[in-house]
């Protein structure tokens, strides 16, 4: 039965409700509550009984000692991150179930995580999954870093060693760059808002071509601000490429995943955003050497070709070359004349044939052979006796002159 049905029975019943009715109502209300179908519960394991069917244990609230009965069926053991033991602080995910025979309830557990850091890890994982589903970490959206930026923005704490490391690395790596520093708090509860504001200042300034978000190493708690959703979205939505240099090599924050390039340390971030000036000079020297080599190669080839032509010119005198060209020209002239004559003859023959054919089709020619052309009053040729009627005036054209006649009789 549903909770609504039990509710109707309780409201309309003129007498006391049965135990089964009341317990059934409680069961329907609790088990149909969407919050209780999948609920995370934090507590300390105060007792645990390993049974062949599963693990029955009790979670106790540390503040007021409130207890909650729980069961993890044995079929779920392989899915549990940790097996609850007495004294453990855990986070349990499960569904509230009612047992009418005992009028009791317990939490049927699907998952158990270590408490404390485990809760923090759970929240981190849920946020990471949600942001990943939105595409904030997709590699296809990562923007390439500018090849040779002239202005670099740095978001970090003015008192942090990271800011000093970045300045020193850039001076040694590529001196002469313009650096825009946007200070921010990079530790504590106020850090997320401060970092977002610092990034927004860089965007509003509009000069920087790439942004470095940096902080030196520290405890895990010190780097939590870089897992804040506000900071991650500010990094992902920044209109210029973002390079993160946060903590040490082993550290990876959600801001690192959202950045266009993750360098892990402030020094590595400074080196990543701009090529070393010494490397550029060496690359330029290599390109200059390559160009010089290619020019020398082409020059040598041209000189070889010039020597070859000079040798040919020595072997063949100029007057002989002119004579050979004149002979070739006469041959071409003769071939041209012959070709034109052939074309004219063929055209003349085609014209004559067409003229003869046209002459045979000329009506005057037919008339001169003794035939006549008969036309009616509309000047249309009469070719069938059925086209005329007695008394109709006709015009007969002969080889010489014309006759106007009147039809007396029409024969079949």
Give tens-digit pLDDT for 246-279: 876 566 889 999 999 998 889 889 888 887 566 6
What is residue 92's predicted lDDT score, i.e. its pLDDT?
92
Closest CA to 270 of 395, 132, 159, 145: 145
Residue whose entry in the numeric block shows the structure tokens 């995943």:
257
What is residue 1's predicted lDDT score, i.e. its pLDDT?
45
Longest CA–CA separation in the chain, Å: 141
Burial degree of 236 (CB within 10 A; 0-12, 13-18, 19+): buried
State the Cα–Cα distance between residues 37 and 33, nearest whole angstrom: 7
pLDDT tens sequence for the chain (412 residues): 455 555 555 555 556 778 888 888 888 888 888 888 889 998 888 889 999 999 999 998 867 778 899 999 999 999 998 899 888 889 899 999 988 888 889 999 999 988 765 556 667 888 999 999 999 999 998 999 998 899 999 999 988 888 988 988 888 887 888 999 999 999 888 999 999 999 999 999 999 999 999 998 777 777 889 999 999 999 999 999 999 998 765 668 899 999 999 988 898 898 888 875 666 666 678 888 788 888 888 888 988 888 888 777 776 666 777 788 888 999 999 999 999 999 999 989 888 888 887 877 766 666 666 677 888 888 888 777 788 888 888 888 877 788 888 888 877 6
Domain boundaries, the chain: 33-114, 125-275, 279-315, 366-406
- Evaluated on CA atoms 338, 340, 344, 346, the torsion sign reads positive
Q: Are 140 and 103 in contact (CB under 8 A)?
A: no
- Strand blocks (E) in 159-273: 178-183, 210-215, 242-246, 261-262
Q: Which CATH code for domain 125-275? A: 3.40.50.261
Q: Are 245 and 268 in contact (CB under 8 A)?
A: yes
> Do the domains at 33-114 and 125-275 have one common CATH topology?
no
Task: For strands 210-215 and 151-156, give the pairing.
Answer: parallel
What is residue 281's predicted lDDT score, i.e. its pLDDT?
66
Q: Quick one: tokens of 278? A: 């010494």
Q: Which residues of 72-82 are buried (b: 16+ CB within 10 A; e: fewer)?
A: beeebeeebee
| CATH class, range 33-114 | mainly beta
Which tens digits make up the pLDDT trace of 192-215? 999 999 999 999 999 999 999 999
């Amino acid at each position: 039965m549903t909770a609504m049905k039990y509710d109707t029975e309780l409201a309309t019943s003129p007498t006391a409700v049965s135990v089964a009715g009341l317990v059934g109502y409680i069961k329907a209300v609790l088990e149909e509550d969407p919050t209780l179908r999948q609920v995370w519960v934090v507590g300390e394991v105060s007792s645990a009984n390993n049974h062949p069917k599963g693990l029955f244990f009790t979670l106790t609230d540390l503040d007021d000692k409130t207890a909650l009965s729980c069961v993890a069926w044995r079929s779920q053991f392989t899915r549990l991150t940790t097996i609850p033991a007495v004294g453990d602080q855990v986070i349990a995910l499960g569904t509230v179930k009612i047992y009418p025979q005992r009028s009791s309830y317990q939490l049927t557990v699907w998952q158990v995580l270590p408490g404390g850091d485990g809760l923090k890890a759970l929240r981190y994982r849920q946020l990471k999954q949600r942001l990943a589903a939105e595409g904030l970490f997709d590699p296809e959206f990562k923007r390439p870093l500018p090849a040779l930026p002239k202005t670099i923005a740095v978001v970090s704490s003015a008192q942090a060693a990271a800011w000093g490391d970045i300045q020193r690395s850039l001076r040694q790596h590529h001196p002469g760059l313009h650096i825009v520093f946007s200070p921010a708090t990079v530790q504590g509860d106020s850090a997320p808002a401060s970092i977002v504001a610092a990034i927004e200042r860089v965007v509003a300034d509009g000069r920087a071509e790439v942004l470095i978000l940096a902080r030196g190493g520290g405890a895990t708690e010190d780097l939590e601000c870089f897992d804040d959703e506000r900071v991650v979205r500010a990094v992902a939505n920044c209109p210029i490429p973002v390079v993160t240099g946060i903590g040490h090599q082993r550290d990876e924050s959600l801001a690192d995943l959202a950045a266009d390039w993750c360098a892990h340390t402030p020094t590595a971030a400074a080196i990543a955003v701009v090529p070393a000036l010494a490397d550029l000079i060496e690359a330029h020297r290599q390109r200059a050497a390559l160009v010089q080599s290619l020019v020398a190669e082409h020059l040598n080839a041209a000189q070889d070709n010039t020597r070859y032509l000079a040798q040919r010119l020595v072997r063949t005198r100029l007057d002989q070359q002119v004579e050979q060209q004149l002979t070739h020209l006469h041959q071409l002239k003769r071939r041209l004349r012959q070709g034109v004559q052939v074309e004219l003859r063929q055209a003349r023959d085609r014209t004559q044939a067409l003229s003869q054919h046209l002459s045979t089709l000329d009506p005057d020619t037919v008339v001169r052979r003794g035939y006549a052309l008969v036309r009616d009053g509309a000047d249309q040729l009469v070719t069938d006796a059925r086209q005329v009627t007695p008394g109709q005036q006709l015009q007969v054209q002969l080889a010489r002159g014309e006759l106007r006649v009147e039809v007396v009789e029409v024969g079949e």
